[in-house]
Amino acid sequence: MPIRILIADDDPAIRGLFRRLLEAQPNWQVCGEAVNGVDAVEQVKQVAPDLAILDLGMPLMNGIEAAREISQSNPALPMLLISVQEMSDQLVEAAKNAGFKGAVTKSRGREVVTGVEAVLQNELFFRRDELR
């Protein structure tokens, strides 16, 4: 049975890029796409993914706010944060507090695959600027 992944990002090009990257992996399937944080919370309820990838900067509800809400109703769901921002210590701390198990910068797109693999194995995966 494939690993079902939800992608939440307001940019359709980014969602398409991540869909292609993720679905190129054996047994991974994108089961849903959300265009904002409110949509992400609803999609988690509707499609019951095995993992959710949430963008930090989304309209209506950002990724941190959406993760907090998702974590309340689904605390076991692994979540990975993606952002155009570099991962500062403050952003990593906010992500962890919201329930994320990992975070990567969008500019390192292929690192999303590595992050998903780690998070699915119940490992933390946070990349900060100094790791370049």
Mean pLDDT for the chain? 91
- Would you list the domain boundaries of the chain? 3-131
Residue 40 · residue 66 · CB < 8 Å = yes
- Nearest-angstrom CA–CA distance, 132 and 123: 20
Residue 29 has pLDDT above 90, yes or no: yes
Kindly report, residue by residue over 64-92, the tens digit of the pLDDT.
999 999 999 999 999 999 988 777 888 89
List the beta strands (DSSP E) in the chain.
3-8, 28-34, 51-55, 79-83, 102-105, 125-126
Cβ distance 39 to 50 under 8 Å?
no
Class of domain 3-131: alpha beta
